[in-house]
Structure 1
């Protein structure tokens, strides 16, 4: 399944945020910051990545359901693929 760039603009924002958070984690480690602070920031980056992944899956599912040009067999195959991807993230 292919996406248009504008369909995933929110995902790009989330990924850029996660990219900044990961850079912050690296800097915190290099600066010898407290373990608790590092883990807290790392957890935030992890959540941002998870949310980006789930948004991609939700967009894919929505596209499967609303695409009138897709036949029933392809819709089912796409749905199964999205389900498998969801379980990969879960």
Structure 2
């Protein structure tokens, strides 16, 4: 995954007071994430249609498994980007609490 340098125009993890936090995805990463989420959105609409048409449950469950896998892919991409940018920056600036924050988030992802 390509990581671009900061432009310094409000795309940092936090401001001087640590209050405003934003991601700073490259345009390529953002496009990739949105494309994946659009596909997932379509898959979810497809599952609703399958249920409306009384599709065989195993087929619906397999489609749900596919959606979960796709969501996991989005989560992994976001996690990698977060670790390569915000997490490193916050550790370098002495904000070691980011590790606890990240561990809590990873635990939620792995439920």
1:26-62 CA distances to partner (integer Å, 9 max, x unpaired)? 0011011111110011111111112212221111101
Distance in 1 of aligned mates of 2:102 and 2:35: 22
Structure 1 residues without counterparts, runs of 5 or longer: none
2:95 counterpart of 1:54: no
Residue 8 of structure 1 corresponds to: 30
Query: Following TM superposition, where does structure 1 have runs of at least 4 consecutive aligned residues deviating by more than 4 angstroms?
Result: none
Highest relative contact order (Cα 8 Å, sep 6+), 1 or 2? 1
- Report how many residues are paired: 86
> Larger radius of gyration, structure 1 or 2?
2
Gaps of 5+ in 2: 1-12, 14-21
Measured after TM superposition, the shift of residue 82 of structure 1 is 2.1
Give the TM-score, by structure 1 length.
Answer: 0.79
Q: Which has the higher helix share?
A: 1
Q: Tell me how large the CA RMSD over aligned residues is.
A: 2.0
Give the TM-score, by structure 2 length: 0.66
Do the aligned partners of 1:25 and 1:42 also contact (CA within 8 Å) in 2? Answer: yes
Distance in 1 separating the partners of 2:34 and 2:100: 25
